[in-house]
Each structure stands twice: as structure tokens, then as C-alpha cells.
Structure 1
């Protein structure tokens, strides 16, 4: 039963979206944890997570296989090991539940069980550098409980899913608790519906016209010069009708170095053009090839020279002299050129955890060097026309607290991604589902540019207003309203619930004595 609980709950995520099946897993876990020993509770918690991730994330092995160039058998083995380790979070929740199984059944269902569930889901956001996919809260985007996301985020929704599941079990099998269990559940759900009617943010300025580009590999066979020229012409065409154009993750490459006296000899071997970029609000000189500057960057500067026009482009930003590569976004507008680097790299994809500590193992397994280096830009804000955009790159969109760091400054959110290696799997739909949660958590529009799809505009209430199909070239246009202000979640993030869950666990531990 523990194994089947994860498999069935996996159907609550995109692309199946059978939201009501999300409750099956917590119901089974609650029922088992009420009856079994500590060891068996640990095992059932692990089994739930293992089967959930294995069923919903059949594509997970592609990250180490495609990004880290691991051979297929090794990539599958690594994925299995990662899933097994991540499952320890829910396994520990089950063991602690049995250890603290005291007080009344109703208090366990309302407080202890969902608190431990919240703690397990939250732990996955930082354990092994973070693995938050398939948080059960994402399954409720089209259900009444989603209203709570603007207050307590996706983990708060997960708490309420776990609590509702436990109370359903109580109501079905314990007559004396039925009325109060049903009442608590109804209050939680109707409150969620009410919270959806509250607008935590307000309009600022005029609407902005945005164009998102979904290239779908049409430039992959071209030389850099031809690719740049076509991109320049498309940007020119789109900016004639839009204020902002957004390209997806890693669509271009920027070859640049940081000019320093020690590099003078090396720089003299090439023809370089000095360009100034804003990095962490500080203007710094960089050097790039004259050809790239004249054929690409300079032309984009000319296009955006008119007032309030901007281009955001996903770039591999390569510093050859320092042997560093960043997964970046370059913003070009009338007055500035600014860079944002990806902060949260994909483990066993873009970066290898414990690279130095386990160096002999990685060498033995022939795992290549990190694809990208850690970010130079801790603040995820970039100028976008006359406004500020909160920027996230691909995997970063899965971390609600990190996305919220762009607020209150950001007037809308921009997500750039490259899901091309996952074409034909459920990943693009699931990634879009995650972006929808970020919209309602922050109370902001989200403009999502994907290399092969799904490119989309998402309203602050998590409704997808426009989207493309996958694996085709497309440009997607929309006029969105910049917003200011913050939701309660942006203000306090996970801190209140963390203190609450630790207090509940401490209270049960004290009363068990």
C-alpha cells in the first residue's frame, strides 16, 4: 500500500492533473503511521517518496545523462541513489510521528501529521542542495486550497493537503470525531476560496508589451555570425511593436574576459572590444571580440536606443582567461547592459556536489567538470524597459523563497528555461506547473520563455493566459500589468511555518514524557 500511494499521488501532477488523487498518498501514510512501528513507518515514508518521484519523474535521469554527460547506466544509477537519499526526509517524518504518537487522534491529524509532512517537503528544498520537485502542494493549483499559497507558499498548501487527508481518514472511520474533522476541513477549504479573492498587490505604471521567443533549434545549424544576424533582425521586428523581448536560457554565447594588467599579453593576441556591463549594480569593464560586439551587441544597443525598449537573452557567459562559465541573462536597454547569473545550479547536471571531497570517485566514474560556475550576482533583478524584472533561470523557478528575493523590487517575473532535453516527457508541463505556483506566491505576472516549449504568460492568480505548443518555432506576445506590493508569503516566506512546526513537534515530545 505504501508503494502504491506514491504511484497514485503522482497522477495529481501535470500533465494528468488529477488533483484529488494527491490526497491518497497522505491518507495511506497517516493510516499506516497510526498502526506500525518506528522502523516500518520510516520504510513506508521512504516508499511513498520513492514511488512518487519514480512515477512522476520518469525523466529525472536525463539531467545527469544530458547535462553531465554521464553514461546512461551511470545516470540511471545516480538518479536512483538521489531518489533514495531524498526519500529519507519523508522516512524520518514517519519515524518521528510514531515516536511522538501521543495526545488525541484529532490533534495528531490536525497538528502532528501535517507538521511533519511540511517539514519533510521543506527539507527537500535544501537537502542535497535542493530537490523540491513534486511537492504535493503543486497538485492543488486548480483546487480551493491554492488560495493559501499567497500566505504560506507551496509548503503551506502541502500542510493543508496532509491535514485534509488525515481528517478525511478520521471522519470516515471514527464517528465521534466526524463532525469536528469535517468542520475543520471545510473551514480550511472555504478559507482558501476566500483568499483567492484577495489582491495583495496593486497596479503601477502603464501595461507593458512583451514578446517571448521560442527558437526551437532553428539557429542550431547556423554559424555564429548568421545566428546573430537573424536574431538581430527578429529583435528589431519584435521591438517595433513591443517594449521587451525575452529569449530563453543558453540561446547565445558571450565570450568575454575581465581586463586586468596580468591579462594584457593575452589580450594582445586577439582583437578585443571593451564593453561595460552592470554586475550587482556596479558598472564593470569586460572585453569581448570585436566581431561579436560589432555584429551583435552594438546592433542590439542601437535597436534599444529608443526609450523604454529592452532585450533579455539567455547566455553562456564565458570568461576564457579565468576558465569560468556562467549560465546568465544579459539585459540590453537604452541606458545599460546588465548581467544576472544563475544562482542555483542543477546538482549532477550543471554542477557536481562535493566536487573536491569526492574527487577520486568522480575521476573514477569519468564525470566531467562542472558545466557552470557559481553566480556572481546574488540579486535576481534586471532592468526591463522602464520596470524591474525578477529573473529566474530554469531550475531556480522551483525554489519559491529564492524567487521571492526579487520582491518587492520586481514588477513582474521572467523565467528563462531550456527544457529541450526533456521533449516527449511530462517535464515541460510539470515545469510550467511550478511557474504557476510562483505567480500566486508572489502576486506577480510571470513571463516564461522556453527554448523548445512551453513558453507562456501566467497571471498573478496562476491562470495561464497564453501558451505555445512544444517543439516548434514561435513568438508569443501579451500585454501585462506591472504590479507592486507583496503577498504575506513574500514578507515572511517559510519562517512562521517552520517555527510553528518545530513548536508542535516540541509540544508533542514534551507531552509524551
Structure 2
């Protein structure tokens, strides 16, 4: 009897120990999920300022216990929680039967996309955690510096590749436009650095909450009160307030609107479901909706009309025979038309400028293609697998990385769909003289949260470059945004709409446009210096 009881107690103890060993991973996963809730559809942006704290505490307290398992799992689960929730809209591409992909292979492709990007996020967070523990040492200030620098460095590295979307910075857009204005200083990594640093200081305040190691005895008079002061929490509060003051200063600057720089732009949201676009009926409806929308806006006295990505799903050589181009020739109002360009045996997704005579005067080719949807990433590794799952043949190619887009109204900053997530695309064009943003997208194959996140990305790009932005989409959300990120108008979702708004051409250059992301190299350099000094002292 005693043996049975002791055996049962041993099993219970073992289960309890197993649960305790899993607890850090579960807490990290939960805090990562909280970070994922900061973006659409929930938009709980305030959580971004505390959601890294549990992970930070876990990896540092676990490092002090010699009998603990490796530190990688908690950070890995945090990354999966954040990116998995934030990018759940990827699952909206299923089913892809309208593309000819059977239901089960469509589900497999969808889960692969979502799972792969979530795991990749977990890998990056694992690297981040390992660097903090390895290099941070026992100095909390140095840990915050290194943690902030490495996070920004990893986001820069990730955004240089093809699979980028969910930076920490976009957790604040569009709700916290004040802090998003920090992007004018050194791009989105400025906002990312702010979020990580504040989280790190709060976490260090929790870790060092006992014993007031941070309270310095200025004098005997003040030493007693300071005993209850946590300098890391004070620093976190001060940093948060200071950064918002800086952002508010940038946000409060007036926007000049000289009459000679005014440009009245019209947008047509055609609302053609993707499942119809490839059919003759879909093309007929596209021609009808975009031609009628163009004529309506031309009668309202607009200077130009912007259409979405792939508004007319035909090749450039066939555009001149369409009713839309005929309307351009009749009305003499400039049009930016989304269609397919040609490059040898391949094609590009392109935006064409038709002047008042109905002639093509410029063309911009999409240079950042959607992985799996428009090309196969790591084709040498996964190409065979994807091709077995899908009968589609990919012939799409990206545009060159250094394009400029001249229009009858001056040079524009052009962006097609997925490119909104890549701030360097906009910065480069703004530095080259781009005076306003034209964003042309088709988000019809995703859930409603994705177009709203897409709009949040475009808001960040408008703020960072200090430019007015016109955004045309197929099914929503189309919008006009001013240089302070304020949405002047936004369409409904899955609706046919036309709208005209006056935007203004600008030639200002923010610090970010002139210098690029200078903050990340600076933080990395200071981290290396701090680590070296600490080693010398030790």
C-alpha cells in the first residue's frame, strides 16, 4: 500500500515538475500572443509596451539557474506567438480553387506559409535571447542596450530578405501616430528600438526590484526615500514620456499646402473578386467598373485617376484597345492603370502612366513579390514540393530595385501591394525626388484584417517620408493619407467606390530619407563598445 502511495506521489511530483519546466514556454507564448493582438483586427497597441517584459525576465532568470534547460524554447515560443497571431490573415488565401489549386493542396500550401513564417520569427527571437544572455553579462543597462540593438539588427536583416511584414513598429500604427513619427528620424527601427528599450527597462526593474541597488546615496537626507526608488522603472517611464514628447513635436509641425503644389487625385475601387478576374466575365466587369469610375472622376475635375494593382488583368500590348484607355483619350485626364508588363517570356505586375493623349509615358514594375503567391522562395529547396502541391506555373519576375517613376506632375513614389512593408523602397524613391506616394494594391484574397494592416504600413511610409499618399485597392481599404499619417478618407470593404481628394507634392527630406537607418548601426556600435569595456573592467 505504501509502495503504491509513494509511486503515485512520485508520478504527481514528476507531472508537477514537468508542468513547471513547461511554464516558462507557456508564459512566453502567451506574452507573444499579446504582442500579436496589438495589430488588426484587435489593435491593442498599448500591449506592445509590456508584452516583451515576461520573455525578458524568463530568459535572464533562467540563465541564473544552472539546472535549467536551454534558453531557446521560451524565446522561440514568443516569436511563434507574435508572428503567428499577427500574420494569421495568411490563412485567408485558402481555398485557392479559383486558381486551379485543389482544396487539400491549397490547405497544405496555406498552413506551410503560415507555419514557416511563424517558425522563422521564433528562430530570430531565439537568436536575440541567446545574444542577450551571452553578451549582456551582469550589467542591466548593457543588457537593455544590447537587447535593443540586436532586435533592431535582426529586423533589418529580416527586412532585407523577401519574407518581411511584422516589425514591432507597426504595432503602433495607426493608433499611436505620435510615436510613429519617430520613424522620421531613422525609419521604423526607431519605433522598434523605443518599444524594446522600454520593455527591457521594465523587465530589469522587476528583476532588480529587491534591494535598491539602483538607489544612489546622494546625501543622507535623500538616501532613505531613494531606498524605495527603482531606477529602471523610473528610466522606463522617463524614456516613454520623452519619446512621446519628441514624437508630438514632429506630429505638431504644420503641413504647408501651397496651391501650386496641389494635385486632385481620384481613386477607383473596382471590387472585382479575384475568383472572377481570370474569367471573361471578370474582365468585362473590370473594364466596366474602372471605365465608369474614371469617367465619373474626370467629370469631377480631377487631375489624375489611380487604379489598383492588376485592375485590368491583361498585358501591356492589349491595354491600348480597352475602353478605359479610350476614355482617357476622350477626357484627357491622366490615369495610372494597373496591368501586366512584359519582359521576354516573363511578365511583371506593373503600374502604367497614361498621359492626356492616352499614351504610356512611364511604367513601374513591382520589385517585391509575394512569396509562394507570385514566386517560390528558396526554390532550390522547396520548389519541387510546391510544384507538386500546385499546378500553377510561375513566370512572373520582379522589377529592378532602382526604378524611378516620373509622371506629368513630377516624380512619384510608387508602390505595388507587398512593397508597402519595405520602408527602404519608399526612402530611396523619396531621396531620388519622389514628391507624393501612389500605392496600388490587391488584397482581395485575404481576410479584412490584412488590408487594415496594409493600410497601417502605408501610414508609416507616409510619415517616414513626409509625403501625401493615395492608396487604391481592388476591394478595400483604399485611402488618402496626409504626411502626419492622418487618414483623410478610407473606403469600405468589398465595396465599389470612387473618391477624389486633393494631395500636395512635397520635396522635404526627413532625417531618415537623407541618412537612412543610422540608429541601428549606432546602437550596435555602442553595444560592442560597452561589451568590450565590461570585459576589460572584469
Which category describes the TM-score, using the shorter chain as reference length? 0.7 to 0.9
SS of structure 1 residue aligned to 2:90: coil
SS of structure 1 residue aligned to 2:181: helix
Alignment map for 1:133-212 (pairs within 5 Å): 133-139=166-172, 141-143=174-176, 144-171=178-205, 174=209, 175=212, 176=214, 177=231, 178-198=233-253, 205-212=260-267
- For 2:225, the equivalent position in structure 1 comes to none
Distance 1:504 1:245, change over 3 A: same
- Post-superposition shift, 1:404? 1.5
In structure 1, C-alpha distance between the alignment counterparts of 2:158 and 2:258, rounded to whole Å: 35
Assess if the C-alpha contact under 8 Å between 1:13 and 1:134 holds in 2. no
Distance 1:461 1:316, change over 3 A: same
Assess if the C-alpha contact under 8 Å between 2:339 and 2:352 holds in 1. yes
- For 1:249, the equivalent position in structure 2 comes to 309
Distance 1:201 1:493, change over 3 A: farther
- Post-superposition shift, 1:300? 4.3
- Note the alpha carbon deviations across 1:249-288, whole angstroms, 9 max, x for none: 11103335xxxxxxxxxxxxxxxxxxxxxxxxxxxxxxx3
Say yes or no: does 1:454 pair with 2:477.
yes
1:370 to 386, 394, 401: 394
In structure 1, C-alpha distance between the alignment counterparts of 2:167 and 2:91, rounded to whole Å: 15
- Post-superposition shift, 1:79? 2.4
1:500 to 519, 522, 529: 522
- Post-superposition shift, 1:377? 7.1
Assess if the C-alpha contact under 8 Å between 1:138 and 1:437 holds in 2. no
Q: Which runs of 5+ in 1 are unaligned?
A: 257-287
Say yes or no: does 1:355 pair with 2:415.
no
- For 1:106, the equivalent position in structure 2 comes to 141
Say yes or no: does 1:303 pair with 2:337.
no
SS of structure 1 residue aligned to 2:470: strand
In structure 1, C-alpha distance between the alignment counterparts of 2:108 and 2:285, rounded to whole Å: 38
- For 2:152, the equivalent position in structure 1 comes to 118
In structure 1, C-alpha distance between the alignment counterparts of 2:198 and 2:320, rounded to whole Å: 58
1:216 to 251, 259, 271: 271
Assess if the C-alpha contact under 8 Å between 1:68 and 1:371 holds in 2. no
Assess if the C-alpha contact under 8 Å between 1:382 and 1:391 holds in 2. no
- Post-superposition shift, 1:223? 7.0
In structure 2, C-alpha distance between the alignment counterparts of 1:489 and 1:82, rounded to whole Å: 28
> Number of residues paired by the alignment?
470
Assess if the C-alpha contact under 8 Å between 1:100 and 1:508 holds in 2. no
In structure 2, C-alpha distance between the alignment counterparts of 1:476 and 1:301, rounded to whole Å: 18
Assess if the C-alpha contact under 8 Å between 2:272 and 2:282 holds in 1. no
In structure 2, C-alpha distance between the alignment counterparts of 1:365 and 1:159, rounded to whole Å: 40
In structure 1, C-alpha distance between the alignment counterparts of 2:484 and 2:474, rounded to whole Å: 25
TM-score (norm 1): 0.83
Give the structure with the higher percent strand. Answer: 1
In structure 1, C-alpha distance between the alignment counterparts of 2:93 and 2:487, rounded to whole Å: 26
SS of structure 1 residue aligned to 2:245: helix
1:21 to 36, 42, 47: 47
Q: Larger Cα Rg: Structure 1 or Structure 2?
A: 2
Assess if the C-alpha contact under 8 Å between 2:86 and 2:166 holds in 1. no
Superposition RMSD on alpha carbons, in Å?
2.8
Assess if the C-alpha contact under 8 Å between 1:381 and 1:389 holds in 2. yes
- For 2:22, the equivalent position in structure 1 comes to none
- Post-superposition shift, 1:313? 1.2
- Post-superposition shift, 1:21? 0.6
In structure 2, C-alpha distance between the alignment counterparts of 1:204 and 1:89, rounded to whole Å: 48
Distance 1:511 1:103, change over 3 A: farther
- Post-superposition shift, 1:372? 1.9
- For 1:31, the equivalent position in structure 2 comes to 57
SS of structure 2 residue aligned to 1:350: coil
- Post-superposition shift, 1:24? 2.6
TM-score (norm 2): 0.80
Say yes or no: does 1:417 pair with 2:441.
yes
- Note the alpha carbon deviations across 1:281-320, whole angstroms, 9 max, x for none: xxxxxxx35xx53444752451354xxx31011112356x
In structure 1, C-alpha distance between the alignment counterparts of 2:323 and 2:272, rounded to whole Å: 19
In structure 2, C-alpha distance between the alignment counterparts of 1:106 and 1:437, rounded to whole Å: 30
Assess if the C-alpha contact under 8 Å between 1:64 and 1:75 holds in 2. yes
- For 1:131, the equivalent position in structure 2 comes to 164
Alignment map for 1:318-329 (pairs within 5 Å): 318=342, 322-329=344-351
- Post-superposition shift, 1:140? 5.2
- Post-superposition shift, 1:115? 1.2
Q: Which runs of 5+ in 2 are unaligned?
A: 1-26, 215-230
Say yes or no: does 1:346 pair with 2:406.
no
- For 1:77, the equivalent position in structure 2 comes to 112
Distance 1:232 1:359, change over 3 A: closer
In structure 2, C-alpha distance between the alignment counterparts of 1:87 and 1:300, rounded to whole Å: 51
SS of structure 2 residue aligned to 1:25: coil
- Note the alpha carbon deviations across 1:199-226, whole angstroms, 9 max, x for none: 6988583311111111112885637567
- Post-superposition shift, 1:120? 2.6
In structure 1, C-alpha distance between the alignment counterparts of 2:167 and 2:92, rounded to whole Å: 17
Assess if the C-alpha contact under 8 Å between 1:250 and 1:327 holds in 2. yes
- For 1:276, the equivalent position in structure 2 comes to none
Give the structure with the higher percent helix. Answer: 2
